[in-house]
């Protein structure tokens, strides 16, 4: 009998809404090969979009992901605007940037919470999700919705930010900055987390470039790219902010990048609220001429790319959507292989795919009998953290 065991992960679990299927091949504790099967959640949105008007396309792409419900609509709107050079009013551009950064904060907090849970830091998990609530409240105040904001359209935005809401937003952001500082301390000053996450799941710079990785995944590996700076859109060229990069490429570096990015986001929102000029928010474009256009924006996970081809009618001939995880996902081949099963969960989670993916793990031994499920894998991961914690406590007590 072979010493290799196959670990199918997924595709379905009653608790989760998004199916994906991983197959890990393990030798003892060590992962020697990985494959992934996606598509269980394929809804044919590119095809559906061909039968919709441009306004409806934006409605459809907003529903690609419950977290990126600002990124896809902006990318789609920019692709249509690129076809005929539609000018977007200044105030609308500011509102787009504000929505984008609020989205980045809530998405990174969501990730931080889940990642913390996977390695047994449930306090950080509770904090991160608790502090995410005020951000969703801001969204509710500004757009009327906590998710699926229905804020964006071709040529502008649908709703204005009211003057009386600005003090409320600023207050919330002030509170949030304090909480974020606490979270930063809880994560970056914890020696156990350093030991648990450093050197785990390293993506080298060469591999990141070859796989064309994006967003925090690439930036943690020393690839200095950010569509907000490189392909300026909205008002990112009119506010001061920094692109956060790290060179190590491990899970810890990805965490650091995301945490520090939230500070930049808060700063961008403050500057936008301060500088936002009065004026119209919608240029109300009429006809879309034949042609083709590209929209590139920086979603929380990396660059989101929309290509739209128009034949002059009211709906696209072709609408290609490339979400950042599409490019980041294949890097798991480089990062997971050679690591232990107890680290697989956190490495797969570190690129920030939809979490549910990693929540459906099942280990099957060579005899095809279930040996482990997702709970066991999370437990393995949490136990590893506990061992490191114990070691630290003993060292302190022994000293």
Partner 1 sequence: MNIDTILGDLTGRFGSKILNVNRRSSKRAYIDIYPKDIEEIVRYVFKERGFRFDTASAVDDFDALEILYHFSYDASGITISFRALLKDKQDPHIDTITGITRSAWWIEREMHELFGIEFNGNNDLRPLLLPDDWPKGVYPLRKDFIPPKRDSRKA
- Of 2-10, 11-19, 178-186, 205-213: span binding partner 1 (CB under 8 A): 205-213
Contact flag: residue 54 with partner 1 (CB under 8 A): no
Q: Among residues 146 and 229, whose Cβ is nearest to partner 1?
A: 229
Task: Indicate the DSSP class of residue 256.
Answer: H
Whether 55 and 269 have beta carbons less than 8 Å apart is answered as no
Q: Calculate the CA 158 to chain-centre distance.
A: 24
- Which residue among 136, 212, 273, 371 contacts partner 1 (CB under 8 A)? 212
- 322: nearest Cα among 17, 45, 85: 45
Closest distance to partner 1 from the beta carbon of 308 (Å): 10
- Of 52-60, 90-98, 210-218, 364-372: span binding partner 1 (CB under 8 A): 210-218
Contact flag: residue 348 with partner 1 (CB under 8 A): no
Q: Among residues 14 and 44, whose Cβ is nearest to partner 1?
A: 44
- Of 34-42, 117-125, 250-258, 265-273: span binding partner 1 (CB under 8 A): 34-42
Distance CA 76, CA 66 (A): 16
- Which residue among 303, 339, 343, 352 contacts partner 1 (CB under 8 A)? 303
Distance CA 164, CA 167 (A): 7
Total site size for partner 1, rule CB under 8 A: 31
Strand partners, 35: 23
Question: Token pair of 215, please?
Answer: 């967003």
Binding mask 368-387 for partner 1 (x = CB under 8 A): --------------------
Closest distance to partner 1 from the beta carbon of 313 (Å): 14
Whether 297 and 99 have beta carbons less than 8 Å apart is answered as no
Contact flag: residue 38 with partner 1 (CB under 8 A): yes
Contact flag: residue 82 with partner 1 (CB under 8 A): yes
Task: Name which of residues 121 to 140 contact partner 1 (CB under 8 A).
Answer: none
Contact flag: residue 327 with partner 1 (CB under 8 A): yes
Q: Among residues 182 and 317, whose Cβ is nearest to partner 1?
A: 317
Q: Among residues 125 and 329, whose Cβ is nearest to partner 1?
A: 329
DSSP string, 143-206: HS-SSS---EETTEESSPPPTTHHHHHHHHHHHHHHHHHHHHHHHHT-HHHHHHHTTSS---HH
Q: Among residues 37 and 379, whose Cβ is nearest to partner 1?
A: 37
DSSP string, 61-127: HHTS-SS-TTHHHHHHHHHHHHHHT----HHHHHHHHHHHHHHHHHHHHHHHHHHHHHTT-HHHHHH
Q: Among residues 13 and 318, whose Cβ is nearest to partner 1?
A: 318
- Of 26-34, 255-263, 327-335, 371-379: span binding partner 1 (CB under 8 A): 327-335
Contact flag: residue 225 with partner 1 (CB under 8 A): yes
Give the CA count within 13 Å in the CB-facing half-sphere of 163.
Answer: 3
Contact flag: residue 318 with partner 1 (CB under 8 A): yes
Residue 390: which residues within 8 A CB-CB, separation 6 or more?
A: none
């Amino acid at each position: 009998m072979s010493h290799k065991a196959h670990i199918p992960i997924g595709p379905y679990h009653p608790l989760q809404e998004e199916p994906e299927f991983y197959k890990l091949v393990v030798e003892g504790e060590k992962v020697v090969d990985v494959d992934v099967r996606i598509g269980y959640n394929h809804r044919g949105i590119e095809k559906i979009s061909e039968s919709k008007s441009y306004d409806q396309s934006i409605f459809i792409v907003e529903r690609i992901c419950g977290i990126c419900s600002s990124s896809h609509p902006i990318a789609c709107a920019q692709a249509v605007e690129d076809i005929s050079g539609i000018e977007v009013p200044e105030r609308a551009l500011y509102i787009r940037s504000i929505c984008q950064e609020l989205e980045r904060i809530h998405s990174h907090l969501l990730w931080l919470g889940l990642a913390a849970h996977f390695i047994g830091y449930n306090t950080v998990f509770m904090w991160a999700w608790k502090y995410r609530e005020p951000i969703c409240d801001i969204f509710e105040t500004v757009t009327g919705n906590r998710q699926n904001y229905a804020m964006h359209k071709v040529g502008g935005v649908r709703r204005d930010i009211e003057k009386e809401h600005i003090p409320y937003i600023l207050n919330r952001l002030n509170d949030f900055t304090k909480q974020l500082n606490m979270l930063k301390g809880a994560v970056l000053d914890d020696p156990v987390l350093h030991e648990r996450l450093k050197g785990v799941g390293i993506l080298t710079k060469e591999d990141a470039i070859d796989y064309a990785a994006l967003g925090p995944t690439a930036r943690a590996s020393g690839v200095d790219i950010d569509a907000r700076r490189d392909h300026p859109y909205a008002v990112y060229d009119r506010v001061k902010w920094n692109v956060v990069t790290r060179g190590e490429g491990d899970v810890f570096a990805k965490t650091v990048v995301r945490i520090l990015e939230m500070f930049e986001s808060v700063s961008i929102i403050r500057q936008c609220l301060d500088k936002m000029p009065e004026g119209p928010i919608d240029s109300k474009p009429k006809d879309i001429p034949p042609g083709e256009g590209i929209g590139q924006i920086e979603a929380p996970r990396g660059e989101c790319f929309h290509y739209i081809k128009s034949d002059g009618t009211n709906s696209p001939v072709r609408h290609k959507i490339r979400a950042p995880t599409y490019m980041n996902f294949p890097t798991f081949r480089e990062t997971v292989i050679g690591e232990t099963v107890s680290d697989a969960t956190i490495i797969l989670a570190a690129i920030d795919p939809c979490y549910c993916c990693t929540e459906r793990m099942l280990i099957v031994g060579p005899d095809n009998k279930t040996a482990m499920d997702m709970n066991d894998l999370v437990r393995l991961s949490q136990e590893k953290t506990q061992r490191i914690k114990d070691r630290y406590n003993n060292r302190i007590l022994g000293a």
